[in-house]
Each structure stands twice: as C-alpha cells, then as structure tokens.
Structure 1
Amino acid sequence: MNKFLRRVFAARHIKECLLVLMLSVSMPVMAEQPAMHYAITVAIDPASRQLQGRSIITVAQGGHFELMLSRRFKVTALRAVGFRIAQEAAHQRGLQIWQLTAGKDGPFRIEIDWQGELAVLDTSLDHAQTLGRPIPVTGAEGTFLPNAAIWYPQIAGALASYQVDLTLPYGQRGLVAGRLLNESESELEGYQAGFVFQQPAEGIALMAGPYTISSATLQSAASNKTLSLRTYFHPSIADLADDYLESVKHYIHLYERWIGEYPYSEFSVVSSPTPTGFGMPTLTYLGVSVLRLPFIRMTSLGHEVLHNWWGNGVYPDYASGNWSEGLTTFMADYAYKEQESDEAARDMRLDWLRDFNLLAPSQDQPLLAFTSRTHAASKIVGYNKAAMLFFMLRDLLGEATFDRAIRTLWQQQRFRVTAWQDIQRVFETVSGRSLDHFFSQWLKRTGAPALQISQATYSRSEQRLSLMLKQTAPVYDLRVPILVRSQSGAEETLFLDLGAESQSYQRVLSELPKEVVLDPDFRVFRQLAADETVPILREVMVNQTTRTLLLFPHQAAAYRVAYELAGRMQGREPEIERSPIAMDDERPVLVVGLGSQVDDWLVQQGLPAMPAEIRQESASAHAWTVRRPNGATLAIVAVKDEASLSKLGRALPHYGRQSYVVFSGPAVIDRGVWPMRPQVLPVQFLP
C-alpha cells in the first residue's frame, strides 16, 4: 500500500468504524428511514492514483441481494454477519458480483476492504465523452468517482443512507453529497472530512481537487433552518465564489417559495477540470470552463439547484420514465425565459418544436421510455417534450391549480421513488378532474400531431366566423389557440377544443375579421408546418440519417480536418457520401469545402449560391443552411483555407440553432435565423 494511504488509513480505522457502527445500530428505525446504510472510510492519493477503502454495510431486512464492485479494485477482506455469501465473485460487465442471502430478522452487516488504482484524469474530454466513460479518475487537477463507476461496494438497485469519511493529501480537498460533519487539514495527516446523508440515496459520487473553499449561510424562507453554502473552486476561478454563492441564495429562496422547504442542510458548487456538468443532492459539479461563462449563473446553476427538489429530492422511477428532467427544465430554464419576456418564452417553445422536427422517426421515443440524456436526440424528447407537457398542463388547469399540485407533489413524494402515474394522480386530486387521456397521449405515443386551418369564412349577415380545423391521425385531444386578426388591427384569441381529425367551429364576432393564425405562440406540442420551420444547422447535427460530403478530393490533410469537424458537429462518426446526391433524397446533407469548391458544387447541383446578405469578404468561414426543393435540409460550410477550417472544430458545433454563422478566425462576426412564417389563412366572406 502507498505510504500516505497506509499512515492515514491505520490512524482512522478504529475510531471511524466504531463511530459509524454505533450510529447505524443506535438510530431508531422509522418508516421513512432507508433499509440500508453504508459506512465508508476512503483514502485517495492522486499522485500514485491509489484508492484504499473500508465499508460497513448495514441491512435492516433479510432477502436476496447482489453486492457489486468494479473489477479494477481488489477485495482484501470480506466478512458477512448474518448473511450467507459466496466468497468467489462472478465476473460480468466489468463487475465483481457476490450473491448474498439473509433471513427475515435483521439487522445484517457486511464488512469489506478494497483497494486499487484509479484511471488517469484526461482534461481534454468534453461533457459527452465524460458521460460516455463513467470510470473513476484522478490527477493533480481533480478526482471524480461517479457512482456509475461502482467505485465502492454497493448493493444493486437499493437506495441507502451513508456516511463517508474521506482522506486526501495536504493541498487537496474533496466531498460527497451530504451534510459536512467534520473537516481538518494538516501537513502530516492531510485533508480529512466526514459527510453523512441520512435520506435514501441512489448512489455516491466523490469529487476532489486543489480547491479553494468559500462559504456563506442562508436562512431558509420556509423554516428556521440555517443552510450552509459552499464553493469548492480551482484557484483560477476562486474570485467567482461570492457571485455564485449569492446566486445560490436567490435560487433556493425562489424554489422554497414555489415548491416548499429546501430538503437538505447545505448546497455546494464544485468545479471540475473537465467541461462537464452534473447535479447531485446538495451539490452541482461543473467544469471550470463552464463556470467562467457569464450566463451560467443565470441559467444552468438554477437548473442544478432545482434538481434538489426534482430528481434528488423526489426520485424518478426510471422503469416508467424519467419525468424529473422535463419538470426541472420547465421550472428552471423555461421559467427564466418567462421572467425575461413573453417573446423569450415563445422563442424557447419554438426551439423545442423546431428541435423535434429535426428528429428522424427512429430517434423518437415515448416519454415513458426516456431514462437519461445520452445524446442530443434523447434530450429533445426527455427534456423539451416533457417540459412542453408541463407547460400544456398548466395551460389546461390554470397557474394557481398547477402550483398547488406542484407543492402537493413535493409534500407527498419527498424522498420517494415516483412514477409518471404518481404525478398524474396528484394533479388529478388537486384539480378534481380526470387527466388520463392527457397523460396517456403525451406519455405513450411517439410523434406529434400536425395541425391545419383548412377553412375560414365569415357570414356578414350573421356576423359569424366559421372555422375548420384538421389534425393528422392518431387523434389527440387538444386545446388549440387561434388568433383572429380584424380588419381594424384588433386581435382576439380563441381556444378551440379539437378531438377529431376534422372539426368545425362557429363564433360570433363584433368586428370584421381579416385573417386567422394557428397557434401563433406555439402553445401546443405539434409538428411544425413547412412555412413555420426554417432550416438550421442543428438539423445535420441531430438527425442520425445525415450524410456528409467533403469537397477535398486531392487534399488529404484538409480532408482529415473536415472529417473531424463533421464528427464534432454530429457527435458520431460521419457517414461520408461518395456519390452525387440524388435530389429526391430526403435525408439532411452536410457539405464542407473551400469557398471556390463550394461555389462550383452549388452550380452543378442547381442550388442557389451563398446568400448575398451573409457574404463578407473579410470572413474566414461561412456556414449556412438551404432548404432543398424536396424540403430536405442542406448545411454548407465554406472556408477560406485549411487554417480557417481547423479553427471551426470547437466553435461551430455550439451554433446549431442558427441558420447561418460567419467567422473571422475563431470569432463569430455574424449569425442569425432565416425568417419564419406562421400558419395564416385569409378569411373568405359570405353574404
């Protein structure tokens, strides 16, 4: 064993294990208390990448269990008290798995020591790559042990409370989710801290680094509780601590007033050496480069604070769909847009619908099937569509009833695994109405209805407007807003209940109508009509059927750079097109080439040249979209030279919501979205 680990581990062993054992045995067993408890002592040395751990797992009730640990670790001692355990572990999916059986009467206990080498921290990874490789990593700049890495022995599929006592070398500081019990630091014994999490938790993640710690306190708006707030920041961003602490105070007060009491005793913002973002009970883990962005405190930070209510305070039942990301998106990201302006909120709803239009049918899934974000397509369903569900539910029930249901959901389901069916039950109870069809159609189906005003006439003699609405099958029950614009310029919104493929309506009007507009503020989750959607770069990034054409036939170096750019934009290995593009092919296409090559290719294909309004001679690169004659999207990247191409790799993928972007080196000098047209139908007059 590493000398540092051996010294600190031996010093703490007897004291910590006895204390934790006393706590786990003496605590009264209550109805809401977890049936399992972990008492973990762990020491980590980033320099040698060694981890040494000891755990006492207490189980209140008997049964059959599976004990799991990553195969990268070696178990040096294993003892079960009250259990029958197979000493030889089965190996599968990179795990060691022991079968455990116990009788009905508990408590039972497992004592286990383990050690091993952590992987090397790779600071070049982006967020998607970090999500895709959940392994325990360490280095001088940081340590991250995600729960998914199975870095500590854990009972499969069980919620559990825990206490973790952590030791790190001097100069390193770390934490896990939970209440800070004690903390000390010396050159001889290093950094030591203890944390306890008394609620049933889904798992334990551990973070450490060369942190500067700043702190503040907050008086809860919903109780007499004093909350402890902290930042664990790398020295390079330590000056941001005060601003982040003030923002956390704002969000906790906001959601305590909206939902109910903050469920924990503290909240920390922790910096990561990789550009990632995770939300956990009592903390959020965000990349240093992310925390530097000025808008993060106004957007993503509030989203992560809110997860302490939804996701980390009320747990999703993943077997029946993860609702927490949608509700958090609605009450955080979208709520901030509503606070900004009606126009900003409308634009976000339009973005949700645009994104959904980008999906290939094979990328869509019912909300009941969404568990977590794995790629852009899953976010469009699990975050955006789910957020739109809650928006439409609020429109249906009214804001006051919706908010009462939100507070009731928190009161009834706090620290409980909760399914969509539980959410439906709460909203039905509070509203006093059946919502079965509403939830069924939005949770169980893929796709979305396409809507059309097929007829709009006005009888002068009866002063009556007649409308005909149509929707595609399968039929949805919808509340469709129709804007009536009069000849005098006055506007009135009608809300029409549509429950058939075709339905007629009549309304008496006091003024002569000029035209009607279907759902002008995008309040219904639906397929956008052709004129309502404009091509944006994101379509070739999200749609998995996108093909890529690289116009570098004799330039091997430029071809490789363009290939890497296409891969970054699409988040996968690009599908390279090597033959002429058929004009009737409806798949999106990405074309990358030098400016002259792109100009020649567009002429050959009979497509319009680069729009004059975005052409700038001083630019090093242009990216823009074109709607092909068959409706398919074409995205074009035209660069001045190979050096200009290499500067787009990190920047261009972040501008997917734009129809065009113009670069001078890595800097954006122009961007925008092509104008869209809502569904407008002139009113025909009858005698």
Structure 2
Amino acid sequence: MRRIGGARLCRIGRNVAWVLLPFFVATATSAASIVPAAAADTAEIHYDITVRINPGARTIEGRSVITAKTSEELTLVLGRRFEVMHGRVDATSLGPSAITGKMRAWRIPGDKQIPRRIEVHWRGELSALDTSLDHPQTLGRNEPASSDAGTFLPDSSGWYPYIAEKLASYHVSIELPGGQRGIVAGRLVEESETDEGYRAHFEFPAPTGGIDLMAGPYKVETSTMRGAGGKTIQLRTYFHPQIADLAPAYLSSVKSYIELYESWIGAYPFTEFSVVSSPTPTGFGMPTLTYLGIEVLRLPFIRSTSLGHEVLHNWWGNGVYPDYAQGNWSEGLTTFMADYAYKERESPEAAREMRRGWLRDFAALSPGQDAPLTTFTSRTHGATQIVGYNKAAMTFLMLRDLLGRETFDHALQAFWREQRFRIASWADLRGAFQTVSKQDLNSFFDQWLTRAGAPVVRIAEAKRTKSDSGYRVNVTLEQAAPEYRLRVPVAIRTGEGEEMRTLDLEHGRQTFTLDVRTLPLEVILDPDLRLFRRLMPDEAPPILRQIMVDRAAVTILLPESGEVRGTAETLAGKLQNRALKLVPATDSLPSAPALVIGLEEQVDAWLARHQLPRRPEIVRGKGSAHAWTVSRSDGMTLAVVSAREAASLAALIRPLPHYGRQSYVIFDGAKAIGRGAWPTRVQAVKLD
C-alpha cells in the first residue's frame, strides 16, 4: 500500500489504463454519476493510462499522460524495475531519475503555466505469480506479479507513473489477450473482446490515492440494483471458472449490504461494486471492489462477515480517506459497523463474546507492545490489529453508549455528508460528534486516542448497610495511573435479579453509594464487558495469541534433530512471525512465557519433568494433534503444541496460526475438530 499525503491509497490496490478505442461498447451509465461533480473538479492531478499486459510472457507496456493543475514542484515516481522508453514534461525531456530503493523518481520544477502535461511510455517484466505463499506473505508482498492464472499489480509496486503525495482522478484502459479480463477501481465505461484480445476502459473522477490492477481468466456475472434516490448500481463478480457457481449468492449479499449502509450512513458513493477472485490467499478492499482469494471465497461464512466489511470500506476508507499522519480511524469504525454490528444482529450473547475476544486479545499484549490509536496506520502484525481494529472499534462502542444510538448515527451521517472524498482525521470525527451531540468530547477522545495501554480497574471494597428505603451499597473502585475518566458499568445482584448502574470514575480511588430496594448479594464489575480495559489476571484466561505476540516469549523445541526438528522450527516461526529465542529442552523451566512444541510422548514427559499440569482432559485422546495454554503458578503463560507423529505436526503449519484467540485446539490432520477458550471470570465481590 502506498500512502500519499497521509491518504489511504486503498486497502487493496489500484490500476490505471486509458485508451479510447472506436469499437468499445459503451454502457448506459454516465461517468459523472460515480461521484458528485464537485468531487471530480477537486482533483489537481489526473492520469490517462493505457496498459497492455501479456500474463503468459509476464510483460507490461504502458503510456500515461498526467495532467497537473498545480504550479508547485512535483515528484514523479515509477517502479525501478520498469524502463522508460519516452518521457516529457510539456516540451521538455523528462531527463535522468534518482533511485531510492525499488523506486525511481524525477523532480518536476514548479511552473506558473498550468495545466502541465507529463507523458511517460514505459515497459517492463513482471514477477511470476507465486500461489504457494500463505496469507501474511501475500499481504506483505508488493511486487507486480502475473501468470495466466491471475495478475495483481499493487499500487505500492509503482507499476505506473504517479505523482507522489497527491490524490488523483484517472482513466485507465487495459489491454489483455483473449480469455482474460481486467479490472481497476472505478466505473467500467466500456469493454470489448475481438480477435485482437480484450480491452476495457475504467474511470474514477474523484480524487483518490492510487491504483491497483487485477486480471485473470474470469467469468463475469452482472446484476443491477437501485440505490438511494433511484441511482443505478452495477454489481459484478469476476470469478475464476472453478467458483463461478458462487456468483449469484455473492451478488445478492452485496446488494443487501449496500442497502444496509445506505440506510445507516447515506447514499452509496459509486455506481458499481465488484467481487474479484484471486489465485493467491488475498483479502483486500478498494473503492468499488474487493479482491479475495479463491479459497477464501469458498468459505461459507465469508458472505456474512468479511464481504460486508469490504463493502462498508466504500464509505469509510475509500469514500472518506483517513489522515494517516493523525491515525487511521477507518479500520476501527468499519470493524464496529460491520463485524461487530453483525454480531449484535445475531444475538446479545454473540456481541458480548466478540467484546470478550477483544479484551482477551488486548490482555495478551505485554506492556509496551501497543501504541496510541493516533499512531496506527495499517495492520502489520497481531499487536497492530488488536489496537487499530479492536480497541478502535470498542472506542466507538463506548462513544455510542455515552451519546445514545440515535445521536451517534446522526453524527456519522453528518460526518459522511461533510467529508466524502476528502481526507479526514480523528479530529474531524470528534467535531461531527460534538456538533450533533452538543457535548464537549475532548477528554473522551484525548484519553482513548493519545494514550497507549488501557485503564486497569478493580473493586477495592464493597459493603452493604440497611437504609430507610431498603439497602445501601458502598462500592470503592480503584484505577491505576494514569487516571482515566470512565463510565464504569456495575451490576448489583439481588435475590430478584441484577440492577445495572454506571459509575463515573475520575480519580485513582473513589467510593460510590448506591441505594437498592431488595437485599444486595454481590457487586460485579462490568459484567457485560462494555468498558475497554486491561483485564485482571483472573479475568483473562490465557490464549494462544499471547505467545504469538509477546516478543519476550521463548521457544522450546523437543525434537532434537532430523526432519521433525525442522518441522517444529518452521511451525514456531509461523506462530511467532519473528526470530525465535530458542531455549534447550534440557534446561530448567524458563522464567518467561514459553512455546513448547514436540511429539506426544516428548510433550508428556517434558510436562511431567517440570511438574506442570497434564494434557487437558478436553483434548486427551482426540484427533492427531493438540495445542493448549497453561497459566503457570508464577504468572507466566505456557503454550503447548503436541502431535501424534511428524506428519501430524507438519499439518499444523498452515492452520494453527489462525487460532490465536483459542485456549485450546484439537486437530485431525489440518482440520480443527475442536476448539475453545478457558472460561472468563468476572470481577465480583460478595456482600456480607
């Protein structure tokens, strides 16, 4: 992903090409309808790009005409791997470039004569598409890659000439061999297929951050829906032949999501949305489309989870662009209004379980692993997701609890009206919520956005006494420094049920007096888990993710040598995604969190030697491999991975890293046949 001027160029990528061919078949939709005319007029930079790709030969050739309606100095950038055959700025030759890493750059001096015209012809060779990469490897790769099975040119690869630090509108024309289809974000203006091959022309009139290009042997299915105000929206699937039968269900789901978010936020900002399949395990979203791996699209739950998340990004992230210099708010807001909202619609229990997962994940971070939300830009590892997605989503939940659902929704609608196709910051969001709610929210946003960590809250004391009207409960709450201003939910359990109260905790220690009509039996802190906080040790059972994200964790490999030793080391590397801190299996128990990997007999003997709890009853005798966590008496977490034989251990390499939220997982080969988390204990004090 390339970021320009702090803007999010897109979660997936962009692609550009533009050539007007007389035999294109024009569609009925007007280009101006993709965005308001005012948005199209604001782009200082515009790209007209024509690109020809031969996936079999892995070659690319392109021509780009850049129109700059600004007199300032500019920087033109292109990937270093590409050769410039011809380049001019108005009537002047482009000249030599400076090389920085994988990019080459040209300084374009300022000029009062505008608009300026920059023309570049380039060509080059693309990397081979590697379908053996796993999901994290695919997401971390920014090389332009191609094969007959698929082409992906991420914006961050510099596959086309662009102006650094500038948003831009564009026209892109794609030329491909017959049997291939290509797509970039934007409106499909026209396309054709002749004996000469396939051609398609896309345009994106609003200023946006960058262009990713996707192509493949796609079967295209189309559906039409009416959006807000009667606007026609084209829905498409670009699917590989082996999953073409999934198209109708995906088109129906996209329609439902657009209808949901139009009623919740405002009119869908574009005239189309496409779901595009990838031969690699990708999961990206960009304006007007999402790019998902074939195997991902086959998963039965994707249409009810991830798909809606990507559709919503057309409002948050690709309709309003985050100001990355001040933090990426879009991932948290999208998580809250998609992933979490679907759980709320499912049941209160499902929503609480998601909140519990967020808090458990945060508890898995060791001190210093997180950072303020204002520094979050994109997910790079588990810790950044826990903060940038989960903590941010729960911040929006707490804000909605504070303001009420109606005011919260009206503020989001106002934010959308004011900021669409603009770069907006957390401060702009705060302004919308303050204006609509007529409340001063500075302290709320300041403490949740600018501080790392989370409050630690405990019930220090709770007592009951008789009163004239029934009973009186004195509850003393404590929080660790630095002090937060918190609305702490507390439940008073009586013989007739629970009474919920909200206590305004602003100091390190405060006592609150609560009147209760019937005999109070117990005080429970935040039983519904609606306050973002660091759970106390008894509240947070250990999960596998603690070993994955804790950089102080050590690794103990029980196989001494041979192929099984190599398999164990590979698995440890996948789980921890960093250089391993290996400790010999013969050493005494380390005073640090530890990951232990071995075959069944080795694991059982190691546990017995160190007088640690035996294999849990819930996994014993089941499947071919187990992973589980143990809370040691010294407070350290132990994660154990045990397999029946070498093949069963090797089968865990791909799937096990995806089960970080679990306390235990049972595998039969590569398939998880059982999983779960040890019970969460609420913080409660019985009243005598």
TM band (smaller chain): over 0.9
1:605 to 607, 610, 613: 610
User: Deviation of residue 613 (structure 1)?
Assistant: 3.2
User: Deviation of residue 13 (structure 1)?
Assistant: 8.0
Conservation of the 8 A alpha-carbon contact between 1:320 and 1:419: yes
Matching residue's letter, 1:53: G
Matching residue's letter, 2:684: V
CA distance in 1, matches of 2:366, 2:588: 19
- Matching of residue 520 in structure 1 with residue 524 in structure 2: no
User: Deviation of residue 575 (structure 1)?
Assistant: 2.3
CA distance in 1, matches of 2:447, 2:490: 22
Matching residue's letter, 1:665: G
CA distance in 2, matches of 1:257, 1:602: 56
Q: 1:120-131 counterparts in 2 under 5 A?
A: 120-131=128-139
1:537 to 541, 544, 555: 544
User: Deviation of residue 61 (structure 1)?
Assistant: 1.5
User: Deviation of residue 669 (structure 1)?
Assistant: 3.0
**Who is 2:336 aligned against?**
330
**Who is 2:668 aligned against?**
664
Deviations 1:638-685 (A, max 9, x none): 21111221111122222222211222223333222212210010113x
CA distance in 1, matches of 2:108, 2:467: 83
Q: Which has the larger displacement, 668-677 or 194-203?
A: 668-677
- Matching of residue 134 in structure 1 with residue 138 in structure 2: no
- Matching of residue 152 in structure 1 with residue 157 in structure 2: no
**Who is 1:594 aligned against?**
599
Greater relative contact order structure (CA < 8 Å, 6+ sep): 2
User: Deviation of residue 259 (structure 1)?
Assistant: 0.1
- Matching of residue 569 in structure 1 with residue 575 in structure 2: yes
- Matching of residue 621 in structure 1 with residue 634 in structure 2: no
1:268 to 274, 282, 285: 274
SS in 2 for 1:527: coil
CA distance in 1, matches of 2:37, 2:536: 61
1:229 to 228, 235, 240: 235
Count of residue correspondences: 660
SS in 2 for 1:363: coil
User: Deviation of residue 574 (structure 1)?
Assistant: 2.6
**Who is 1:680 aligned against?**
684
RMSD of aligned alpha carbons: 2.0
- Matching of residue 445 in structure 1 with residue 451 in structure 2: yes
User: Deviation of residue 461 (structure 1)?
Assistant: 3.8
- Matching of residue 508 in structure 1 with residue 508 in structure 2: no
**Who is 1:6 aligned against?**
none
1:191 to 185, 193, 198: 198
User: Deviation of residue 595 (structure 1)?
Assistant: 1.4
Conservation of the 8 A alpha-carbon contact between 1:85 and 1:100: no
- Matching of residue 177 in structure 1 with residue 185 in structure 2: yes
CA distance in 1, matches of 2:430, 2:587: 48
Matching residue's letter, 1:552: P
User: Deviation of residue 362 (structure 1)?
Assistant: 3.3
**Who is 1:279 aligned against?**
285
SS in 2 for 1:470: strand
SS in 1 for 2:379: coil
682 and 210 in structure 1: CA distance in 2 versus 1, 3 angstrom threshold: same
**Who is 2:66 aligned against?**
57
CA distance in 2, matches of 1:495, 1:583: 44
User: Deviation of residue 14 (structure 1)?
Assistant: 8.9
Conservation of the 8 A alpha-carbon contact between 1:232 and 1:271: yes
**Who is 1:109 aligned against?**
117
CA distance in 1, matches of 2:516, 2:316: 45
CA distance in 1, matches of 2:288, 2:299: 22
Matching residue's letter, 2:277: S
242 and 29 in structure 1: CA distance in 2 versus 1, 3 angstrom threshold: closer
Deviations 1:288-310 (A, max 9, x none): 01000000000000000000000
CA distance in 1, matches of 2:212, 2:664: 41
1:351 to 357, 369, 378: 357
User: Deviation of residue 28 (structure 1)?
Assistant: 9.3
CA distance in 2, matches of 1:496, 1:249: 43
**Who is 2:220 aligned against?**
213
Conservation of the 8 A alpha-carbon contact between 2:543 and 2:660: yes
Q: 1:364-443 counterparts in 2 under 5 A?
A: 364-443=370-449
Q: Which has the larger displacement, 259-268 or 125-134?
A: 125-134
Matching residue's letter, 2:651: K
Matching residue's letter, 1:521: D
Matching residue's letter, 2:670: P
SS in 1 for 2:482: coil
CA distance in 2, matches of 1:30, 1:655: 43
2:252 to 241, 246, 250: 246
**Who is 2:638 aligned against?**
634
Matching residue's letter, 2:597: V
**Who is 1:8 aligned against?**
none
CA distance in 1, matches of 2:78, 2:550: 37
CA distance in 2, matches of 1:627, 1:592: 17
609 and 14 in structure 1: CA distance in 2 versus 1, 3 angstrom threshold: closer
**Who is 2:7 aligned against?**
none
Deviations 1:517-565 (A, max 9, x none): 0001111110101111111112112222221101012x31110001111
User: Deviation of residue 30 (structure 1)?
Assistant: 7.6
Identity, in percent, stands at 54
CA distance in 2, matches of 1:613, 1:97: 59
SS in 1 for 2:230: coil
SS in 2 for 1:63: coil
Conservation of the 8 A alpha-carbon contact between 1:85 and 1:98: no
Conservation of the 8 A alpha-carbon contact between 2:40 and 2:206: no
Q: Which has the larger displacement, 597-606 or 137-146?
A: 597-606
**Who is 2:43 aligned against?**
34
User: Deviation of residue 29 (structure 1)?
Assistant: 8.6
Gaps of 5+ in 2: 1-17
User: Deviation of residue 360 (structure 1)?
Assistant: 2.3
Structure 1 runs (4+) greater than 3 angstroms displaced: 11-16, 27-32, 579-584
200 and 600 in structure 1: CA distance in 2 versus 1, 3 angstrom threshold: same
Deviations 1:556-590 (A, max 9, x none): 111000111111222234322126666572x3211
- Matching of residue 648 in structure 1 with residue 674 in structure 2: no
Conservation of the 8 A alpha-carbon contact between 2:336 and 2:394: yes
Gaps of 5+ in 1: 1-10
Matching residue's letter, 2:274: S
**Who is 2:477 aligned against?**
469
Matching residue's letter, 1:199: A
SS in 2 for 1:102: coil
Matching residue's letter, 1:491: E
**Who is 2:54 aligned against?**
45
Q: Which has the larger displacement, 323-332 or 457-466?
A: 457-466
Matching residue's letter, 1:613: I
CA distance in 2, matches of 1:321, 1:481: 29
Conservation of the 8 A alpha-carbon contact between 2:557 and 2:585: no
2:321 to 311, 315, 319: 315
**Who is 2:490 aligned against?**
482
